[in-house]
Amino acid sequence: VQLVESGGGSVQAGGSLRLSCAASGFPFDDWAIGWFRQAPGKAREGLVCIRNSDGGTWYEDRAKGRLTIHSDKAKNTVYLQMNSLEPEDTAVYYCAADRLGCSGYGISIYEFDKWGQGTQVTVAS
C-alpha cells in the first residue's frame, strides 16, 4: 500500500489549495480515504473522509463549508480542495486509507491503517 500526498505549500490567508492523495497497492474502489492534519504541538485530527465503495462522505465540523473531498477512481486519487484558508489551518496534512474506514460516525485516526508521509500547508496572515 502506498499513499503519496502532494499539493501543499505556502499561501496567504483567504487563499486556496488543492491537495492530492495518489493511492496504489490496494483495491481503491473498495476502500475509504480520509484526510487528517497535525499542527505543531497538537494531536492529529480528522477532517473529512470518503468511502469509494458508495461515495459516502463524512465532514467534521471544522471542515464543513471550506473543505471538499473528491475521489477520481480513474486516477486512484483523492483530492482535498481547501478554500478561505486561515493561519490556524497551518499543519502537515495526511491522507490515510482503510478497507472499513469512514463509517459515518466521525473520523478517527484509529479507523485508518495505512498512512501517507504528509504534505506541509502554511498559511500566512
pLDDT tens string, the chain, 125 residues long: the values are: 999 999 999 999 999 999 999 999 999 999 999 999 999 999 999 999 999 999 999 999 999 999 999 999 999 999 999 999 999 999 999 999 999 989 888 899 999 999 999 999 999 99
Residue 21 to residue 41: CA distance in whole angstroms? 24
CA–CA separation, 51 and 106 (whole Å): 13
Q: Are strands 119-124 and 9-12 parallel, antiparallel or unpaired?
A: parallel
